[in-house]
Amino acid sequence: MRLVRFAGRSTQADVFAFGVVTQIFGNKYPENVLADAIDGNLQHSYPMEDVYKMAEVAHWCLCEDPNDRPVMREIVVALSQIVMSSTEWEASLGGDSQVFSGVLDGR
């Protein structure tokens, strides 16, 4: 609530809030903490590059100047590219792409 009162309601505030939420998953933490944030069931056989890309999206959303933050369309495109990359990675392992394909469907 404090953010809404301070910054007002805007898409830029929404983008910043999204960045804060995604930052919780490791944006400002060392590499080993990013790795620890990944589901242990993957047994460290995941595309770490995609983890870094997600952290970059979070960092982009947290730009101090609201005019430097992406619009939601840019966030959706960036996340879609990460999901597609992850789906391709999963398929290369012989998986059925259910882990990452459900992300965009909200599963």
The pLDDT score that the predictor gives to residue 74 is 93
77 pLDDT higher than 90: yes
Cα dist from 107 to 32, 98, 104, whole Å: 27, 10, 8
Please state, rounded to an integer, the average pLDDT across all residues of the chain.
Answer: 72
The pLDDT score that the predictor gives to residue 103 is 47
Q: Among 21, 24, 46, 45, which residue's Cα sits nearest to residue 33?
A: 24
48 pLDDT higher than 70: yes
Band of the pLDDT at 34, cuts 50, 70, 90?
A: low
